[in-house]
Amino acid sequence: MVRICVLLSILIFFFSYESSESCKCAEFSNIVEALKYSDYVFVGIILNEEKVVLNDSTLFKKLKKKSKNVKDYEWSQEITRFNCAVSQILEGKVLNDTVIIYTGNGQGDCGVIFEIGEKYIIFANKDTYFPKENSKFVYPEGVNIFWTLLCSGTQKYNSNDLNSLINELQNK
């Protein structure tokens, strides 16, 4: 009987435990609502993916190690870089037909898990969504560099959602 109670307690704890590192964001009631929170909206096909490791620049200066091996440094953050072929611009001024999109890795950091070769409606901003206060990470920025996250409205291409967005933008 005691074993059953202990086992039940463990199972209840396991299934009710909520990770403090999970992505928590307000969900939009529809894709049109997501327009309010993004400066850029475009349709594009994901071309490739690259993992990028950011290191705390102040830690590098303090340690002055010769090795550039990330494992030698305590404070690093991995993000993902995607190249995206833009096929349609809905909002904002996108200067090239290929852009760079950064996001987290989708492991509790609200990163979007894109599939190579798939078409998406992408809601993006120029600045990272990671908090910059008290952060020494240098986040990529520049022309044709955008950031998106799971909570932005970014999703696989759907012609009905695209038509809703186009109608909303025409009525602005």
In order of their start, the domains of the chain are 27-170 (2.40.50.120)
Q: Do 75 and 55 meet the contact criterion of CB atoms below 8 Å apart?
A: yes
For residues 136-143, average pLDDT: 80
Give me the DSSP letters along 106-148: SSSS------TT-EEEEEEBSS-SS--TT-------STTEEE-
CA count, 13 A, side-chain hemisphere, 18: 3
Strand partners, 169: none
3-state secondary structure of 46: strand
pLDDT, tens digit, for every residue of 61-105? 445 455 555 455 456 788 999 999 999 999 999 989 999 999 988
113, amino acid identity = I
Nearest partner of 114 among 125, 102, 124, 126, judged by Cα: 102
Strand partners, 83: 48, 100
Which range (79-83, 94-98, 130-134, 160-164) has the least confidence? 130-134
Query: What percentage of the chain carries pLDDT values higher than 90?
Result: 39
pLDDT, tens digit, for every residue of 35-59? 888 899 999 999 999 999 887 655 4
